[in-house]
């Protein structure tokens, strides 16, 4: 009886597992728990018969001085714990590193995509299995290595067949560290355990090759098992991504697929509509990566359909905003607003749908005919909006906000002597009072907050949905938070807005020097902080699976206010304050 093996765990395996658990606990979602537990169950179940065979056939053994004594199918409990803890470490490290990845956009868009690589890879792994089996028949030195490779190869063949397209699409910066970091660490752990005699590989079945006392068989074992764990996690992510894409067709979503869906998911091949959806989501992410880095960072704390729908919503808002701001003329901007309104009428027919109704199904032909003048990424954002379970009133508020922005353009056009616009009646600035400012913030930001909360409720378990009164209170607070974030945005963008003929500070004119507006900008930031503080309590009433993410998204954006304050303190009144990605990530982490 001895404790050497448990000492190895206390010194080597338990500390990194605890560190990873502590770090990842704030980001962990139900899907992460499911994937990790599922993989641990498979790993332990698959390893026990193989390891038991090795021990019973004296391929390796454990001195009595290194283990406590009790066994499970001849395997010491310490070894069974090793199966568990290695899988947990590697799976959790992969989950941390893959958090920025939006798995749905990595799915193939053509049935034939990756087919040759899938078949070739599967054949390669099966061929390796056949060679290993032949070596086992032969026996002698190399038997242990053949047992390792022959045991792992069928699992890798299956996982490659299921998720090869996903594995090839995954960033190497995610896959390689997830495989090699725990492998190198466990190589060192194993070498020291072999030196101490904690476990022993018997002679006659091993090649006798080693480096720094690490047997070649052990090196291959840890490398291949970590490859198998990461492949398993990627396969889970692939299946869940397919589930999310397929859920659009059903106009409903769930965290996990039903048991009846597993086989269709494994045999999935993209339909034309699903392929278009994947392309539209790719374009949406490209739009946000270029124009909304704060939200791109904050979105990492969401999962599944909720994350996809939030990305789609923000991309559509960004596209609509650009259709107004970047229009070549006031007439073009007016036409774009009419286009947006017509599209909303298509989704929510006036007089035929209630204010609480979700968008109706619209055929691709109808949509394409209306959106013919837009480019493909822009059309994609409109198509994605048509799939979101949201109501129309907040969308109409957004359009009202766009009209306010347009009135600035119309005012500038009139001052420049351009009479081609039908909006040349505008003779004053649209933001003349504090009420005008708050109404504008309500239209362009409270509306988005309202839509986000609707999406949260739509994709949360029914048991976590609040009562009608709680919903109204939460929505009111979310809308106030939206106004707060917009005030921060206005305070930051004063110099940039003045350059394009806009001023959202009530009672101020366009010819006001930026230096004279510092006090106004500070006042906006002060009010924003007060409004945000009042709204924070309501966030805690949101469903648990989304609460931390919404909190993080809000606080990440509020850090911009701190950057604006700092810039004003330092006299950098013309700077457009930004927050570094690392700071955004740390803020999101603290908010969780």
Quick one: angle between helices 272-291 and 216-250, nearest 10? 100
The torsion angle over the Cα atoms of residues 174, 179, 181 and 185, rounded to 10 degrees, is 170
User: Burial of 338 by CB count in 10 Å (0-12 exposed, 13-18 middle, 19+ buried)?
Assistant: exposed
Whole-number pLDDT of residue 390: 95
Whole-number pLDDT of residue 420: 47
DSSP string, 171-191: -HHHHHHHHHHHHHHHHHHHH
* 8 Å CB contact between 128 and 149: yes
Tell me the H-state helices in 299-441: 304-325, 330-347, 364-370, 376-385, 393-415, 434-441
Q: Which residues make beta-bridge pairs with 71?
A: 76
Whole-number pLDDT of residue 426: 42
Q: What does pTM read for this prediction?
A: 0.90
Nearest Cα neighbor of 106 from 9, 240, 216, 300 is 240
DSSP string, 476-491: HHHHHHHHHHHHHHHH
Low-confidence ranges of the chain (pLDDT < 50): 419-427
User: Burial of 44 by CB count in 10 Å (0-12 exposed, 13-18 middle, 19+ buried)?
Assistant: middle
**Direct distance between the N- and C-terminal alpha carbons of the chain, in angstroms, rounded to an integer:** 45
Whole-number pLDDT of residue 412: 63
* 8 Å CB contact between 382 and 374: yes
* pLDDT (tens digit per residue) in 333-385: 999 999 999 999 999 999 877 888 999 999 888 998 999 999 999 999 999 99
Backbone angles phi, psi at 347, to 5 degrees: -80, -40
Whole-number pLDDT of residue 253: 85
pLDDT, mean over the chain: 90
Whole-number pLDDT of residue 425: 43
SS3 211: strand
* Domains within the chain, CATH numbers bracketed: 3-267 (no CATH), 271-391 (no CATH), 429-591 (1.10.600.10)
Nearest Cα neighbor of 276 from 388, 382, 390, 383 is 383
* 8 Å CB contact between 111 and 171: no
Whole-number pLDDT of residue 416: 60
SS3 49: helix
Whole-number pLDDT of residue 298: 67
Quick one: angle between helices 77-97 and 172-196, nearest 10? 160
SS3 465: coil
Whole-number pLDDT of residue 139: 85
Residue 316 Cα to chain centre, angstroms: 18
DSSP string, 317-331: HHHHHHHHHT-SSHH
The span from the CA of 411 to the CA of 161, in Å, is 61
Nearest Cα neighbor of 82 from 148, 145, 188, 10 is 10
* 8 Å CB contact between 389 and 453: no
The span from the CA of 181 to the CA of 73, in Å, is 31
């Amino acid at each position: 009886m001895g404790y050497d093996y448990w000492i190895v765990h206390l010194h080597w395996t338990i500390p990194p597992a605890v560190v990873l658990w502590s770090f990842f606990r704030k980001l962990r979602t139900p899907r992460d728990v499911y994937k990790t537990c599922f993989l641990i169950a498979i790993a332990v179940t698959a390893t026990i018969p193989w390891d038991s065979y090795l021990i019973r056939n004296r391929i390796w053994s454990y001195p009595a001085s290194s283990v406590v004594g009790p066994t499970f199918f001849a395997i010491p409990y310490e070894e069974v714990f090793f199966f568990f803890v290695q899988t947990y470490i590697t799976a959790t490290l992969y989950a941390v590193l893959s958090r920025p990845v939006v798995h749905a956009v990595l799915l193939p868009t053509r049935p034939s995509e990756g087919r040759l690589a899938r078949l070739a890879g599967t054949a390669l792994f099966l061929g390796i299995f056949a060679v290993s089996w032949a070596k086992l028949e032969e026996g002698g030195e190399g038997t242990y290595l053949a047992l390792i490779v022959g045991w792992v190869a069928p699992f890798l063949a299956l996982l490659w067949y299921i998720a090869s397209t996903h594995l090839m699409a995954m960033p190497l910066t995610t896959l390689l560290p997830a495989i090699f970091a725990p492998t190198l660490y466990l190589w060192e752990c194993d070498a020291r355990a072999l030196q101490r005699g904690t476990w022993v590989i018997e002679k006659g079945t091993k090649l006798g090759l080693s480096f720094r006392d690490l047997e070649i068989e052990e090196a291959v074992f840890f490398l291949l098992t970590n490859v198998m764990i990461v492949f398993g996690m990627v396969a889970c992510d692939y299946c869940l991504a397919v589930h999310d894409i397929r859920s659009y067709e059903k106009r409903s979503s769930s965290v996990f697929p039903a048991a009846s869906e597993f086989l269709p998911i494994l045999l999935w091949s993209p339909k034309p509509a699903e392929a278009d959806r994947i392309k539209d989501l790719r374009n949406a992410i490209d739009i946000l990566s270029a124009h909304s880095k704060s939200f791109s960072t904050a979105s990492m704390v969401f999962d599944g359909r909720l994350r996809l729908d939030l990305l789609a919503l923000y991309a559509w808002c960004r596209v609509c905003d650009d259709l107004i701001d970047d229009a070549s003329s006031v007439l073009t901007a007016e036409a774009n607003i009419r286009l947006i309104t017509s599209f909303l009428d298509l989704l929510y027919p006036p007089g035929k749908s209630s204010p609480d109704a979700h968008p109706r199904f619209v055929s691709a032909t109808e949509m394409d005919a209306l959106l013919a003048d837009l480019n493909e990424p822009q059309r994609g954002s409109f198509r994605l909006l048509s799939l979101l379970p949201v109501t129309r009133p907040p969308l109409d508020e957004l359009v009202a906000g766009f009209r306010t922005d347009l009135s600035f353009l119309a005012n500038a056009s009139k001052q420049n002597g351009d009479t081609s616009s039908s909006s040349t009646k505008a003779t004053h600035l649209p933001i003349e009072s504090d009420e005008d400012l708050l109404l504008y913030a309500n239209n362009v930001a409270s509306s988005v907050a309202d839509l986000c909360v609707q999406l949260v409720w739509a994709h949360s378990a029914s048991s976590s949905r609040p009562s009608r009164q709680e919903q109204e209170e939460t929505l009111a607070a979310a809308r106030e938070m939206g106004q707060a974030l917009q005030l921060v945005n206005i305070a930051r963008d004063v110099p940039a807005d003045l350059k394009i003929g806009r001023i959202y500070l009530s009672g101020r004119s366009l010819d006001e020097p930026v230096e004279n507006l510092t006090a106004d900008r500070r006042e906006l930031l002060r009010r924003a902080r007060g409004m945000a503080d009042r709204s924070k309590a309501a966030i805690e009433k949101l469903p648990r699976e989304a609460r931390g993410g919404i909190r993080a998204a809000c606080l990440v954006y509020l850090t911009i206010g701190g950057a604006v304050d700092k810039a004003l303190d330092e006299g950098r009144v013309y700077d457009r304050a930004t927050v570094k990605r690392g700071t955004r990530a740390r803020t999101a982490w603290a908010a969780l």
